[in-house]
Chains A and B, each alone.
Chain A
């Protein structure tokens, strides 16, 4: 089948990878059984491939569910938000396509040109999402108490918070720690 760079095309591609990996793992088990191994040993010998097949299946499933759930649930959203939700789906699909190129080259008809086009679309998507990045994380709506972080508070007072927290260190409660008199001073003055 001809490769298609759309999200639906990518989902089909991931399903072909999963099918190919399951087929390959099954063939591997049969090969080991033919060589005289019992089914349990053949399973163990093929288990690396079996885990890879499960992962491929799961990635195809998450991707298709993400796509279909966004389609199903964003109908009543405003146009800018619906567009952004679809861009995130596309970003997710292309990210994993580029991460799993080896598998896709093995089991689908994806070509060098397709990959170059996907890479370019991916970079374009990053640029389109960039102005909305802070808005996207603000929308998770975590209060500062729930984030519990010097770096992530809503007001962005990062450096002030880092210093405030540092000052809470019990070591900062006194200018000279007792270890100086007990250990460092005698050591440095050769009195040990």
Chain B
């Protein structure tokens, strides 16, 4: 071990293991996480001998699929069946296992992160039973397609149509324009064979809003795209190059009626559309994804600052005092200013994510009982938290990179790849400025309520203080 690092570890004034346990949520959680990581990372063939960056675009994808299969199996084998759901959640809360195996993410990410949650959130009981059985066994690989070439965050602007034909009891899926092509979903290009597609439903000649459909994209044996389905990959990006982002277009492709996911809205055989009792029920999934993003930002920032701080302890440069030799760059106060805020921010985001998770579960439980009182508050705070944490993490990760001088520019430092992963969060799952304006809408409403003497939700209650005093 480098001597400077040895001496730093001797100087440390607190028990490192105690802090690790605190961050994990207890000694048992640390033990479980380490056990899982050890088991998975010791799987033969999972860690590359040849750095991924020296492979071609196509080779990177093929290598990522190979590793995705190994990784999935290793995770399954390493799972401790005796752990409770909460213990399982604690085990993976801080784990960045996928980031270790896939520098640019797994082509299966969307199956777990979006396809399965979409089925759980939108399918009725019968549909859920059938599709979850297949998806959880990986008999099928799915993704979630909402964003189109011409529309992203503005969901009502989506152009893909699903027109119900009551004669055949089918939906006709169609992409009427180039801009209506689905664009961006991970796994979509060459990995997934099923997809939850958000499309504008028309029945009995009337618009019935944006609804979810589960659609088979590829033959289960040959993996060839089905007739009327156009699929492809969208090309190289700043990061996430192994996640297999794709495009998807429909040419009057027909699917049976039961392929519309009907938990929240239904189309009957004759084409009668039954509206969801409350469209707000679907907000839950969106909020959950934002909770995951805030926690992910905390973990990736921790990873970036670990690299930068250790390097800053090893690297010696310049002279603070004449003839005193080159100091560790960590002794420069400007370096401390760049890095220590990243450590504090990672803690701040992690604790905020835990708070947000608790609130999410409370609101979800309330929703099941028909109580939606706290949903707008949760939505408002989740929107701005996703935006501010992803902005701050991008800026601080980039600062970690530049704090390592020229060596931080090397892909082998992994800092550029971490930046690629975190900066994507600024624009995915709701573009940040749009999300900030959604929070602003709640703030303006709360401000007007305060002026009218009405009570405010806890996170905005301070807005009434100044008004009271006035």
Q: Does A101 contact B (CB under 8 A)?
A: no
Find chain A residues with CB under 8 A from B324 CB. none
Also in contact, A141 and B30, with CB within 8 A (given A61-B381, A65-B351, A133-B313): yes
Of all chain A residues, which has the CB nearest B459? A61
CB pair B437–A54 under 8 Å, yes or no, is yes
Does A188 interact with chain B (Cβ within 8 Å)?
A: no
Does A41 belong to the interface (CB within 8 Å)? no
Do A145 and B100 touch across chains, with their CB atoms under 8 A apart?
yes
Q: Complex Cα distance A95/B336, Å?
A: 12
Q: Is A190 an interface residue (CB 8 A)?
A: no
Residue of A142, A149, A169 most packed against chain B (CB within 10 A): A149
Kindly state the separation between the CA atoms of A88 and B20 in the bound complex, as whole angstroms: 16
B447:A22 contact, CB within 8 angstroms: yes
Contact (A55, B436) CB under 8 Å given A78-B15, A165-B51:
yes
Once A54-B440, A133-B339, A139-B16 are accepted as A-B contacts, the answer to whether A70 and B351 lie under 8 Å apart by CB is yes
User: Is A89 an interface residue when CB atoms closer than 8 A count as contact?
Assistant: yes
Q: Is the CB of A152 within 8 A of B307?
A: yes
Residues of chain A from 48 to 102 with CB closer than 8 A to chain B in the complex = 50-51, 53-55, 57-63, 65-66, 69-70, 73-74, 77-78, 80-81, 84-85, 88-89, 91-92, 95
How far is B8's CA from A15's CA once the two chains are assembled, in angstroms? 39
User: Are B462 and A147 closer than 8 Å at their CB atoms?
Assistant: no
Which residues of the other chain, B, contact A81 by a CB distance below 8 angstroms?
14-15, 18-19, 22
Q: Does B113 contact A (CB under 8 A)?
A: no
Q: Is the interface of A mostly helix, strand, loop or mixed?
A: helix
- Report chain B residues within 8 Å CB of A92: 341, 344-345, 348
| Contact, CB under 8 Å: B5 / A134 | yes
Bound-complex Cα distance A140 to B299 (A): 9
The one of B5, B18, B314 that contacts A77, using a Cβ cutoff of 8 Å = B18
B72: chain A residues at CB < 8 Å are none
Which listed residue (A15, A58, A135, A169) contacts B387, Cβ 8 A? A58
Q: Is A185 an interface residue (CB 8 A)?
A: no
Kindly state whether residue A181 has any CB partner on chain B within 8 Å.
no
Complex alpha-carbon distance, A139 and B14, angstroms: 10
Interface of chain B residues 76 through 116 with chain A (CB within 8 A): 94, 96-97, 99-100, 103
| List of B residues within 8 angstroms of A23 by Cβ | 447, 466
In the assembled complex, how far is the CB of residue B330 from the closest CB belonging to chain A, in whole angstroms?
6
Within 8 Å by CB of A88, from B344, B443, B462, lies B344
Question: Which single member of B37, B310, B347, B433 contacts A66 (CB below 8 Å)?
Answer: B347
Whether a CB of chain A sits under 8 angstroms from the CB of B134 is no
A21 CB to nearest chain B CB (Å): 9
Q: Tell whether, in the assembled complex, residue B348 and residue A130 are in contact, meaning their CB atoms are under 8 Å apart.
A: no
Chain A CB within 8 A of B137 CB: no
Interface 0/1 of A7-25, CB less than 8 Å to B: 0000000011011101101
12 contacts between A and B (CB under 8 A): A25-B444, A50-B436, A54-B384, A58-B385, A58-B387, A58-B388, A65-B351, A91-B340, A151-B310, A151-B311, A151-B407, A152-B413
Residues of A within 8 A of B (CB): 15-16, 18-20, 22-23, 25-26, 29, 47, 50-51, 53-55, 57-63, 65-66, 69-70, 73-74, 77-78, 80-81, 84-85, 88-89, 91-92, 95, 123, 125-127, 129-143, 145-158, 161-162, 165-166, 168-170
Kindly list 20 other residue pairs between chains A and B, CB separation below 8 angstroms, not including A59-B388, A146-B97: A15-B462, A54-B443, A55-B384, A57-B460, A58-B385, A61-B459, A70-B351, A95-B341, A125-B340, A134-B5, A134-B309, A138-B9, A138-B12, A138-B306, A143-B37, A143-B100, A145-B41, A146-B37, A148-B414, A162-B412
